[in-house]
Amino acid sequence: MDNLGWVAIISILTAGMCMAVGSIGPAIGEARALVQALNSIAQQPDETGTITRTLFVGMAMVESTAIYCFVVAMILIFANPFWTYFISGIKG
């Protein structure tokens, strides 16, 4: 197997694992925040507006780390500079 092949398979592998590992933290974290929000609403129905607003702004911030991972995965699959280099020269 030549350079071209190795770059391809490592890009595939890394993109998939990066997305998979990177989604564990945000998924569990956002869920915990959601749990607390539901709890707070039950305790303080009058503050529902403030709570849900803070919740969604905060979740967007947590979501950002998942999006970093998604961005890296997409770069590796569709805009990989190493792959571009190798297929331009066809010298592997």
When asked if residue 27 is in the footprint of a copy of itself (CB under 8 A), the reply is yes
- Between helix 3-43 and helix 81-89 the angle, nearest 10°, is 160
CA–CA distance, 68 with 85 (Å, rounded to integer): 24
When asked if residue 84 is in the footprint of a copy of itself (CB under 8 A), the reply is no
**Scanning residues 29 to 58, which ones bind a copy of itself (CB under 8 A)?**
29-48, 50-52, 54-55, 58
Supply the minimum distance, in Å, between the C-beta of residue 62 and a copy of itself. 5
Q: Could you give the C-alpha distances from 18 to 8, 46, 61, 75, 78, in angstroms and in order?
A: 15, 41, 19, 12, 15
Residues in contact with 34: Cβ distance below 8 Å, sequence separation at least 6, in sequence order: 55, 59
Supply the minimum distance, in Å, between the C-beta of residue 89 and a copy of itself. 9
Phi/psi of residue 90, each to 5°?
Answer: 50, 15
When asked if residue 88 is in the footprint of a copy of itself (CB under 8 A), the reply is no
How big is the site for a copy of itself, counted in residues (CB under 8 A)? 78
Supply the minimum distance, in Å, between the C-beta of residue 80 and a copy of itself. 7
Supply the minimum distance, in Å, between the C-beta of residue 35 and a copy of itself. 4
